[in-house]
Structure 1
Amino acid sequence: MPDTALPAGIGHNSAPLGEVLAEITGPLLERSGKLLEAAGRASCTDDDTAGKCATLAKMIKDHTKAVDGARTTAKEPYLQAGRDVDAHFKVILAPLEKAAKAVVDMIDAYRREQQRLLDEQRRRAETEARARAEEAARLAAEAAATNNISAEIAAQQLQEQADAAANQAASIGTATVTSDYGVKAVGTTSYGYAIDDVAALAVWLATQHPAELSAVLLPLLPKVAGKPTKTYQPKIPGVRIEATTRTAIR
């Protein structure tokens, strides 16, 4: 019978993660329970109880910091193992990705040149179609004015040639590379925005999407104008400095 067992993974000799975490978090959970019970009993009605609440809030904050520190410490070996795995495979992946890009770049250059030739062919066919159509229209007008059957026949022939040239131009597609194995390399088109007039865009956004514009601009203001303080309050058109008060436990 063939051996179908998978190779042992990283850390296969270690204790199960659940057991490790339970050992680490046991004391933390016990203290968390006591602090949560105290928070459930807490009330703040006078200076004495407010002071006790401040002390309790500080204890909860300190314990929260301790729990988060334990989480970070417990997670680090696994994060490092993940980084080690990534680095190991990157040695294989990086040159493959570089080689694939180089090959695709060569194909892209060839495909672009083929597309340029096709575009030139299409433009020539379109030019020919327009010229023949214009000449056909001129002969048709002349035939109608002079009742010239020969000119009318010539006009119809030219119009047929113009239609054929137009159909040829329309039939010219995009350059495609196809291998003997059926693999295709085709050009794809993607679209994105390019800003030509920032002021006009700002006016449009301000009138059509003011809430969305404000949400984008608010985080940007401290970066471009500096973070406002009690003594530093920059004057920015359309912006006011707003003071927010909250309780801080120190």
Structure 2
Amino acid sequence: MNIQTAPIGHNHPPLYDLDAFEALKARVQEIADAGGDWLDLGKIETEEKASKLNDFIGQSRKTWKDVDEARKAAKQPHLDAGREVDTAFKALADPIENLVKKLKKPLADFAAEQQRIIDEQKRKDREAAAKAAAEAEEARRAAEARNDVLAQAEAEKAAKEAARATKAAERPAKANIASATGGGRTMSTRTVYTAEIQSDGDARRAFGFLLADPDSREALVKEMERLATAARRRKDGPTVIPGITFNETQTVA
């Protein structure tokens, strides 16, 4: 088993101690080669082999731990530098973010009022269209009753106009706030939903709905399995959970 590593760029200083890395690489190669021999051996049939394999697994774990600790040590200066950069720039960005949040409040209030006006006008338009449609139908019936073909044609024309007005009135409309200069984006009202469960009864009803919802079922089941597994593994955790089957796998630790 041969371990390959990506070459270090010529134009950049190394990001970690190359000598320490190469030493670890050599050790990992030794473990990998020995591990390959153990895998080739296949079945363990004697106590001696089992004990030796146990020791080798311990050595492998120790090597993994050494590599991981070296990784953390090599990475820490970069994490510290990254946090320092974040802190410096967040000191500039956070006040702007907070300012925008505060400025959006009066803009949202204005947009909400404009939306109320639009919705009210839409309501009036729907009522007017419904009234026009009813009047057109009444006129059509009256014209048909007296065999007035010209009046009947006018009534049918009015009915079509009322239908168009109804369609226009039912078309959704949002209050938009355009950019004064054209450089900004147009903003509009939107509704944001966040779920809240207020009682155990609500939780049960929501559970039933989500379990039946094809878009939610898989994620819900996986989350339940995760929670049930965590509960079972707790010290003094439940050995039985209604509806849950615990699969047992034998391993060594």
TM-score range normalised by the length of the shorter chain: 0.7 to 0.9
Is the Cα–Cα contact under 8 Å of residues 210 and 217 in structure 2 kept in the other structure? no
Aligned to 1:86: 86
Aligned to 1:244: 249
Closer/same/farther in 2, CA of residues 176 and 59 from structure 1, 3 Å limit: same
Q: Structure 2: how far apart are the matches of 1:103 and 1:17? A: 46
The sequence identity of aligned pairs, in percent, is 27
* 1:17-56 pair list within 5 angstroms: 17=14, 20-42=16-38, 43=41, 44-56=44-56
Deviations 1:149-195 (A, max 9, x none): 89769857865874675476368843222233123433265787969
Closer/same/farther in 2, CA of residues 239 and 78 from structure 1, 3 Å limit: same
Q: Structure 2: how far apart are the matches of 1:36 and 1:61? A: 12
Deviations 1:99-140 (A, max 9, x none): 122223322221221121011111111101111221221232
Secondary structure of 1:96 counterpart = helix
Is the Cα–Cα contact under 8 Å of residues 136 and 158 in structure 1 kept in the other structure? yes
RMSD: 3.8
Structure 1: runs of 5+ lacking an equivalent: 1-14
**What is the count of residue pairs matched by the alignment?**
230
* Aligned counterpart for 1:16 among listed residues 13, 18, 24: 13
Secondary structure of 2:29 counterpart = helix
Give how far 1:97 is off. Answer: 1.1
Aligned to 2:102: 102
Q: Structure 2: how far apart are the matches of 1:210 and 1:157? A: 51
Is the Cα–Cα contact under 8 Å of residues 118 and 175 in structure 1 kept in the other structure? yes
Aligned to 2:4: none
Is the Cα–Cα contact under 8 Å of residues 115 and 189 in structure 2 kept in the other structure? no
Q: State yes or no: 1:186 paired with 2:191.
A: no
Secondary structure of 2:212 counterpart = helix
Give how far 1:92 is off. Answer: 0.2
Report 1 or 2 for greater relative contact order, CA contacts < 8 Å, sequence distance ≥ 6. 1
Q: Structure 2: how far apart are the matches of 1:172 and 1:233? A: 53
TM-score by length of 1: 0.73
Closer/same/farther in 2, CA of residues 152 and 215 from structure 1, 3 Å limit: closer
Structure 2: runs of 5+ lacking an equivalent: 1-11
Give how far 1:51 is off. Answer: 1.3
Secondary structure of 1:227 counterpart = helix
Is the Cα–Cα contact under 8 Å of residues 126 and 166 in structure 1 kept in the other structure? yes
Is the Cα–Cα contact under 8 Å of residues 176 and 188 in structure 2 kept in the other structure? yes
- Structure 1 counterpart of 2:143, which letter? A
